[in-house]
Amino acid sequence: MTSTATKQPPRTDELPPQLFRHWIHSREEDQADVEFYRPEDFDFPPAFGRDGLELRPDGVFIQDDIGPADEIIRTRGHWTAQGHGRIEVRFGGAREDFAFTVVGVDDSLLRIRKEPLQGAYERMPCATDEQLEQYMSAPPATGFRRIDFEHADIVILESFPPQFVLRVRGTKPYANMNVQLVPLVYIRQPEYWGIEVVGSLPGIGLPALAPYEVSLAVTSFLGTAGIEVIGATRSERFDIDRAGGAQ
């Protein structure tokens, strides 16, 4: 069935205005599942073609894909905002649909996390207030705890743009405890992005003090001012300038 209804332009007031432009994939900067995009006038290293994307305020989405002869194939689609920085893109069968979450964006850099769409009309129901209250009132997992740290610092990798790595050292109460740095989840970019120091036990704990040292690439988890390392009884903030400085 063909619909003759006129599509209404999507709401753009909840999305950063810097998002609406043509972005080129700077794949050399990608970190784990976070993709980095730069404006067209960025000084990219030589490459055999680069994919990209473009969002327009009227709901049009243009996907740039690299063709078999390294040419750029542009496919027109339509985007819709799903809230919390998540955007779904559909191409009407011209290519695979997908969704992405905006991790961060400014005039010089767009960071997104892509994910596939399972079906053209699939929707997940939202949790009710009662379900959220039940979740929040559930007892915490006994195998996971914040633990304290003794020292934390930022290492700046010599790259362009600079990459930042958080290093944390301390003493864990169990010899077989696993220690991780876990970023908190935010709807909007905070001033200082919280990074929790979390210890977990795989089974029966061996109660013996042991040193630990863990690290985490935090370039994708920077607040507007920097990051905050959060332990069991104290926290420490680091001011980080994306241009290459940390305090």
| Res 120 pLDDT > 70 | no
CATH architecture, domain defined by 17-116: Beta Barrel (2.40)
Q: Which residues pair with 211 in a beta bridge?
A: 171
Rounded Cα distance, 34 and 13, in Å: 24
Q: Which pLDDT tens digit goes with each residue over 21-52?
A: 999 999 999 999 999 999 999 999 998 889 99
User: Which helix (H) or strand (E) element contains residue 39?
Assistant: strand 34-39
Rounded Cα distance, 182 and 232, in Å: 13
Rounded Cα distance, 96 and 80, in Å: 16
Rounded Cα distance, 218 and 192, in Å: 12
The beta strands (E) that lie in 59-173 are given as 60-66, 72-83, 86-90, 98-105, 110-116, 144-146, 151-157, 163-172
Q: Which pLDDT tens digit goes with each residue over 196-233?
A: 999 998 888 889 999 999 999 999 899 999 999 999 99
Domain ranges of the chain: 17-116, 144-246
Q: Give the global pTM.
A: 0.47
DSSP count for the chain of H helices, then E strands: 1, 17
